[in-house]
A and B are shown apart, each in its own frame.
Chain A
Amino acid sequence: MPWEFALPDTLASAATHAAAPPMDSDAFAAFYERSSRLLWAYLARVSNDGALAEDLMQESYVRFLCAEHAPSLAADGEVAARLYLFRIATNLLRDHWRRPRAASIDEISEEFFSAAGGAAQAESRALLGPALQQMKPRERLLLWLAHAEGYSHREIAEVTGLAATSIRLLLFRARRRIAKLLRAGEEQPC
């Protein structure tokens, strides 16, 4: 006889109790509203794939809610929760890159970089897109977290799992390299 018949109430109530998420649905909806665009932007720009970014973003939130030790908004604050979320997303990205067919990393969709915007933005986009494409995935991660999200070295170490002491050097090298690419892009005639 299956156990559900023997102990239905006990186990069902235990399962329901253990299934309590780190925040209630309203708090999660508000947190999602505040963070989902930023997370999507991070994943989309680092992976160069909008569809992949959406998939990974959804999976990140589901894992965030399922994680036993996820920081709670009330106790740990928004920053800790967001860092934890970015960490999950970064791990998912890394898993994606480790798979044998990671074609989307090296593919750039034209429409993704051709959205409407001002002249200065179009210039940034036109220069940064191809430059980012030439960077290694880890460099893209570091650059985005440092310069788009404004995270400190300690926070970047927390998100990426790299040693905090090596972040400075890795970031310095990545910045120097992309700056060179951006300058080279600026000098090229249209």
Chain B
Amino acid sequence: MLRTCPRENEVNDLVTRGQWPHASAEELREHVRTCRACSDLVLVATAFQSVRAETVAAVPRLGSAGALWWRAQLRRRSATVERLSRPLLGAQIFALAVTLLAAASFFGYEARHGVGWLNWLEELPQSVGVQFADLSSPAPFGSAWFWLLAASAAVLVLAAGVAMLLATDKR
């Protein structure tokens, strides 16, 4: 049951200000001796204040404010970048989905309306086989396929170089 005392605040103020018991009236001291709520308050509050003063005085060497400041700066910055990049990532995913959908529609249409993609794909292995046979012939440089292959390889190498450059630049 909650049995508080109307003089608790008065006692608490004196204890908090460090004026108990010296700056208190004899009548109040007498009240505290007979009132359980107030005597509990004085006992507990003085013990806590004493331990607090002692603990604060014995605090070990704490980390520097500057380090915490920069840590917080980094965290705020990365959180902001993450927040800003979220809609961009959504837009990228949306663009990819649209592209895939368009490509699937295109290939589906072409397969149904007969430009002969499926026949062409079926004949592709034989065709490639023939061209590789041409490459291994004594005079490959005269073949148009050779030049097409070389150009493709050059474009691939160039694209890889550009990709590497961009990746390094980002880092």
Contact = CB atoms under 8 A, between A and B. Distances in A.
B154 to A, nearest CB: 22
A18 interface: yes
B62 A36 contact: yes
Contacts of B51: 45, 121, 124-125, 128-129, 148
Interface residues of B, number: 45
Contacts of B55: 41, 44-45
B25 interface: no
Interface stretch (B27-35, B70-78, B105-113, B117-125): B70-78
A134 to B, nearest CB: 14
Interface in A5-48: 5, 11, 14-16, 18-19, 21, 25, 28-29, 32-33, 36-38, 40-41, 44-45
Contacts of B166: 1, 5
A182 B76 contact: no
Contacts of B54: 115, 117, 121, 124-125
Given A66-B79, A178-B44, A182-B43, A115 B58 contact: yes
Contacts, number: 139
B114 interface: no
A179 B66 contact: no
A86 interface: no
A128 B43 contact: no
Interface stretch (B80-88, B96-104, B139-147): B80-88
Contacts of B60: 50, 54
A56 interface: no
Contacts of B85: 3, 11
B52 A41 contact: yes
Interface of B: 2, 4, 16, 37, 39-41, 43-56, 58-60, 62-63, 65-66, 68-69, 71-73, 75-77, 79-81, 83-85, 88, 166, 170
Q: Which 9 A-B pairs have the closest CB atoms?
A: A65-B72, A147-B48, A179-B40, A32-B65, A148-B52, A124-B50, A41-B55, A19-B76, A29-B65
